[in-house]
A and B are shown apart, each in its own frame.
Chain A
């Protein structure tokens, strides 16, 4: 349980910030209940520093040898052609900022077969060095092969930070590596920065309407995954060529235990892609049912946009998972974003707040969604939308 020292003055601040409701005041002193998960969220909130996590027994390691910000650059391969998945450029751009703040190198790690043609473009994002592991054995993604290659590189060159795209491959690979290296891994970060030499990884947390800064002060490298579209890409060194370090790493025999039989790519979607749409009509739990979402489809059609959904609506089965907007779904930056029946939990907001014009329709005038809206409509979307459609169809 969280430790509460004699310094506690009984101000009660911690009781309001505990995400699990585990802290209360008894005789004007804070007391933790069995509901405490030792998440540590309260520690920084105590004005008199009375709260602390129990000291861990781990001996402090010398971490000074760990230098360099690395980005695992994913090569998208549909079985016929391959290209750099654009999130790689976004991560290099953010990685450049972090590397400059840390006074360290920015390095791209590229694993695959025939990847040299991509190096010139990858160099333009302020990349100092490219670590290349290339060969027929790496033509297709394989967890064991790729994890072994990255672990070998990390142990040899000791980076301080490694960033991964939060794609199917990045989310498969990074936890395997963090487990092997005994280091921290923070999923789906919405912000990355540097404080006192540590990587600060920001993300909505504890399922509530609250943000958390996560750090791993005693472990290196510090590792994070980031969804596509969260960071903007920025070419900072056009025409520059990064130094290329080529490593030949044999694939462990265990990799052959998993084999790709075949790959099927979906036909190009008939509709617009959510992350590229200029107009997004999004629905939440307040749209209640399929009929509610049909209204959203109609409005999207009229305005030349596409329909997305909040996590709550996805959980109710109102929309497919790949249409989820938010921290653990798609990040959009539309010209017009209309949020219908969405309360506006921070997990949703971080996935849409960079849109130009945000309009909210919600019955509850106090819904947090209105805090990010340029225009807020207090009312029932399922009543208002049919009237809007009548007018638009005129």
Chain B
């Protein structure tokens, strides 16, 4: 079985701070991480590899520094990595991104299962996975907490409003993963990271994958930013400061005033 896992390098959202004066993001010095949903999806691919001997190929799109997340994935046990990197991809919205990734997957070829995180934490759209599935003309199952593959089928646990479903699907299929609340990401040992240095990462341009330039970057992106603006300002309410006891007294007083407490 051949599994391709799509991964993305994102800023670590738990470390991003907002400039109190300008309200803009302070990006300087914020570490980049492997998108947590992709990390989870990759671990599930490696579970399937352990069980069935599948080959796991990683695919990412981004600048050269995104090689870091491919190296992490290889150290965790993936077999090979592909980085799509080209200025021609700049300005891509989710339409152009899923087109480019799907075109690269066609070039890798021979795939049975495509795994993605449900979304990237720097965009939260959850659109790229289904977009890739459309461009590959294969079915998709999204928002899955677990996956098991055997023979030419997968069985997944998919979240729905107020519950979950068990679904089965014939290969090839694309599945997007979301981690259960108790999930803790695994990281490779120093030895594993060292050994993975010999694994191959291919870097491909738009021309290498034979992509249609009219579907890349801005050309392949229907959405445009009309304008950006700070959140509408509101009148500031009453402010209180003081010792914890003073503030607690004031808090209870306000609960009474607002008729929350009788």
Residues of B93-108 contacting chain A, CB below 8 A: 93-95, 98-99
Which B residues are CB-close (under 8 A) to A378?
Answer: 239-241
Nearest CB in chain A to that of B232: its residue: A211
B214 within 8 A of A: yes
Main secondary structure of the interface of A (DSSP, over half): mixed
In angstroms, Cα B27 to Cα A21, docked, is 8
Q: What's the minimum C-beta distance from A309 to chain B, rounded to whole angstroms?
A: 12
Nearest CB in chain B to that of A327: its residue: B124
Chain A: interface residue total (CB-CB under 8 A): 122
B130 within 8 A of A: yes
With A184-B222, A187-B125, A279-B260 in contact, is A144–B139 under 8 Å at CB? yes
Which B residues are CB-close (under 8 A) to A215?
Answer: 223-224, 226
Q: Across the interface, do A366 and B218 meet the contact criterion of CB distance under 8 Å? A: no
A38 within 8 A of B: yes
A209, A335, A365: the one within 8 Å of B239 (CB): A365
Q: Across the interface, do B225 and A209 meet the contact criterion of CB distance under 8 Å? A: no
Q: What's the minimum C-beta distance from B118 to chain A, rounded to whole angstroms?
A: 9
Q: What's the minimum C-beta distance from B144 to chain A, rounded to whole angstroms?
A: 11
Which A residues are CB-close (under 8 A) to B94?
Answer: 175, 185
Interface string of A164-201 (1 = CB under 8 A from B): 00011101101110111011111110000001001010
B194 within 8 A of A: no
B169 within 8 A of A: yes
A43 within 8 A of B: yes
A9 within 8 A of B: no
- Segment at the A interface, from B15-23, B42-50, B200-208: B15-23
Which B residues are CB-close (under 8 A) to A346?
Answer: 231
A171, A179, A373: the one within 8 Å of B237 (CB): A373
Q: Across the interface, do A16 and B122 meet the contact criterion of CB distance under 8 Å? A: no
Most buried by A among B28, B122, B143, B252: B252
Q: Across the interface, do B231 and A211 meet the contact criterion of CB distance under 8 Å? A: yes
Q: What's the minimum C-beta distance from B196 to chain A, rounded to whole angstroms?
A: 27
In angstroms, Cα B11 to Cα A143, docked, is 31
A291 within 8 A of B: no
Main secondary structure of the interface of B (DSSP, over half): mixed
B161 within 8 A of A: yes
Which B residues are CB-close (under 8 A) to A144?
Answer: 139
B190 within 8 A of A: no
Nearest CB in chain B to that of A265: its residue: B163
A244 within 8 A of B: no
B160 within 8 A of A: yes
Which A residues are CB-close (under 8 A) to B151?
Answer: none
Q: Across the interface, do A213 and B226 meet the contact criterion of CB distance under 8 Å? A: yes
In angstroms, Cα B99 to Cα A372, docked, is 41
Q: Across the interface, do B166 and A262 meet the contact criterion of CB distance under 8 Å? A: yes
With A53-B91, A320-B181 in contact, is A254–B126 under 8 Å at CB? no
Which B residues are CB-close (under 8 A) to A349?
Answer: 231
Q: Across the interface, do B14 and A187 meet the contact criterion of CB distance under 8 Å? A: no
Residues of B74-101 contacting chain A, CB below 8 A: 90-91, 93-95, 98-99
A58 within 8 A of B: yes
With A19-B25, A257-B169, A303-B260 in contact, is A172–B224 under 8 Å at CB? no
Q: What's the minimum C-beta distance from A34 to chain B, rounded to whole angstroms?
A: 8
Cβ contacts A to B, 5 pairs, < 8 Å: A315-B14, A366-B20, A387-B245, A387-B248, A388-B251
A residues apposed to B, CB below 8 Å: 1, 16-17, 19-21, 34, 36-41, 43-45, 53-54, 56-58, 76, 78, 85, 143-144, 167-169, 171-172, 174-176, 178-180, 182-188, 195, 198, 200, 204-219, 254-255, 257-266, 279, 285, 303, 311-312, 315-317, 320-321, 327-328, 335-336, 343, 345-346, 349-350, 357-359, 361, 364-368, 370-380, 383-385, 387-388, 390-392
